[in-house]
Structure 1
C-alpha cells in the first residue's frame, strides 16, 4: 500500500480488514494528515472505502490503536487528504475497513507534522450561536533563529458540508523568538445562519525562510450544538412518486412514497399518532431533508415526561432489528441510558415495535416503483417524570450511509407527559 506505484493495490478478502504502514523502530511521527488513493473509479472500489477509519498504533501493528480520522464520504479516483488532530506520535498507521466492507486501496501515505515549528489549536468543545468563544493558536519555534512577522490565520468550516462557522476572521502577526512559543487568541462568534454539527478549526502560520516562505498547519475539532432535531436532518427518506431522484434513505437511492404514506393517513407537516405519542412529521422544505441518521447527536428536549418517543425506521437491519442506546439528560446533571430496537423499514409485520405507518411503496431514483413494506415505527424509552429533561442523545451509527451498515433514521421526537409531576 506504500510502494509508490498506483497500478498495484491492496484488496481485502474479508470485511473489516486492515492495511497499514510500519514507519520503523525509530520512525514514529506525529501525523498531520493521511493521504490515500483508491484503486480505480469503479463503484465497488470507491464505496469499499466508505466508513474506513485511520488508526495510529503505538504498541504494535494492531495494538494500542487510536482512531485518528475516518472516510465519511465516497471518495473520488484521486488522492484524498484527511487532516489528523493528534499530539501523539505513532510507528504504525493503518486503514481499517468498515464492518461490512472489504477495502481496496492503491496507496496510503502519512504526512508528518513539522518537528521544528508546529502549530497547536485549542478550542472549546462546544460552540454556541451568538456567543463568543476564544480559540487559541499556539506557534512553537524550536529552531535557533527567530521567526519574524509570522502571519497566523484561522478558519472554521463544517466537516460535512464545508459551510463556514462565521464571517472572515482577521489574520494576526507575531514574532516567535528562538526556542519559544507564542499564543494568538481569536474570538469566534458563530453566525445565526451557521449549520449545527462538527467544525474543523484550522490554523496556518506563514513565515519567511531565506528567500522563500513556509506554511505550518494545525487544527482542532469543535461542535455547534443542535437547537432542535430538524437541524440534525441530513437525509431524504420520503419523496413524491413523480420526483424520487433526491431520495436516498438506504444509500441506494431509495425512499418511502409520500403518496403511499398519505394513503395510510400520514402526511408530512401533520401529526402522526402512535404508541400514545403525537409526532409531527416534518414538512418538506427547500432541501426536502426529513430525517437524521442517528449518530450520537445530542438534541435539546425540555419538560417532564414519563416516556420519550422516537418516530424512526431502520435500513439494512437484521431480522432482530437494529439496537441502539438512547441517553436522556436531566437538569440535575444526571443521565439515564436505555436501549431501543428498530426494525428494518421493510421488515415483516409482527415486530415488537409499533408500526406508525406503512407507505406500501418504495420509490427508486431511475428505477420503477416497487410494492413492498416501507414502514415508520414508534419506539420509546422510559423517563423519570420527577426530573426535568434537557436533552436526548441518539444512538451511535455503526457506519456511514452507503456502506450497507445497519442505521437508524429519526424523523421526529415526542414526549408522553401523562404522568407529569410538578
Structure 2
C-alpha cells in the first residue's frame, strides 16, 4: 500500500486519484492503482464501522469503496487512469503508456492485470463489462499466459495484484475453470525447490496463496467474512482456529489430476454455493466435504445464486462516458452519443445534462434529458450544434448525470468545430503533450509524444509560424492534449493554391518509419496527378538514420514525452517535404496517402510555395 498524501484528500469529491505523479517505488504514474487500493481500504473500514454499530461511518466508507467505478471506461471496457481533467488516456488500453516496469497508472502492472481489482463488488464489475459471457471470454484470453510480468496484458502469478484473479470464474458461473486454473498454477509454477515460487515471496504472499489454493478456499474480498471455493489437493486438512475449534476440509477423491468439484457439503448439508461464510466457522469450526473428479462438472455452482456475494452498498448504478471526439461544421448539427454502462442487472433511469464551453459557439439541443439504461448498457444520443459564426477549434462539453439524485461517473465530450475538407477536420491523432501530463497524447501508438515544452524551446507554439526553406507554415493552433495532426489515410483536403505555385509543402513526420505513400493532386480544371510522399521517422529511427531525400528538418528537438511519465532523450524532429506541382495549373485539393510502406505518416500543416 502507498501512503495517502495531502492531495489525495480530494478523493471524496474527485472520487479518483489523478494520474499525475509517481509514488513509492513505481517507475510510472500510478493514479489508477492508488484509487483501487484506497477503495478496497475504504471497504474494510466500512466493515469495521458496521461491526461497531457506526452506521453513518459505514455508509460513508461504503460509498467511497465504490470509487473504483470512476475508473471504468465504457468505451474500452477497462479500468483506466484519469488525468487531472478527468480524461482517460488515448489509444489502446492494452498497449499505451508502458514504462520499464509496468503501465502508466498502475503500480507494477497494467490495465489487464488491475482490471479485476475491485473484489468488493465483482458483480458490478461484471455487469459493467457486459455480463458473464463477455467476462469469461476476457478471462480465458487473460489466462493464456500465467506469469507474464508487468508489461504484458496477461496473468502474472508472481505479483500480489493478480493473486485473486483465478477465482473470478466463481462469480460468472464457471467455477470449474477456477478449479482447473488454480491447480495448473500450483502444479506448474510452484515446486518444492529453492526459489520454487513464481515470484518474490514478499513476506509470505506467494507461499500463503499456495496454502489457500491447496486447501481449496481463498479470501477473495479483504474485510468480508467469506471464503470463495476452489478445490482441495489433500484428502483431509485440519485447520486449528483461534477459538479452539477446527475447520476440517475433506477432499473425497482428491488427487493432483482431480481438481474438479462435483459436490460440496457444509456440516453435512449439500450446497451449490461457491463460497463459505466464516461468521459461524471461526468460533465453532465446520466440516467442508468436497467431492472431486478428474472430469469437469460445468453445472455445479453455475447458477447466478451460487456466486459469492458482491457488496453493492453505495455503488453508482450507471457509468457514462463519451463515444469519442465529435466534429461539427459551423452552422450544422451532429448527433453523438454517451456510452452508458449499467452496473446492475436491471434498467436504470438517468438524468443527464450537457454544458458546452462558454464562447465555443457550440450548443447542446437539448442540453438536458433523461434516459433509461437497460441491463447491458446503451448509448444516449446527444445533439450538438455549432453556430454559423463559430470559429474553428476544440472545446469540451461537460457532462453531468444522476441516478435517483445520486451523481454517477461521467466523461466529457470533446468537440471540434471545423470546416469540412479542411486539414483541421482531418486531425485524428494527439501528438503533443505537456510534460506535466504526458499520458494525454499517444503519437506513435506506444505512448510517446512530442513535448509542448520542447516545441516552445524550439520557437513553436500553438498558431505560430514555422519556416523551412521556401515553405511558410502555420503550426496547429490547438492546446497540448488535443488532436493536432492527421494520420494519412486517404483523406481529401482542400488547398486552393494560388496560381503559379510550384510545390505543395507538407509539414509532417512518420512513426515507425520512414514511410512512403502516394498523394493525389487534384487541380482546378479537374485533372489529377500522383506523386510520392517520402517521410522520415520522427526520431530518425532512434538516431540511427539520416533524413530521407527531400526532407528538411523544420523543427529540431532533443527529447520526447512518454506516457509512462519518464521523458526520453534523443533527436526528435518534424520535417518539411515539398511535392512538385504543375505551375501552369492551380491545385485545388490533395488526397493524402491511403496506404504507406511502413508505419504512419502524420501531417501537421500544408502550404504551397
Shorter-chain TM-score range: 0.3 to 0.5
Q: Which has the higher helix share?
A: 2
Larger Rg: 2
Structure number with the bigger relative contact order (C-alpha 8 A, sep ≥ 6) is 1
Q: Which has the higher strand share?
A: 1
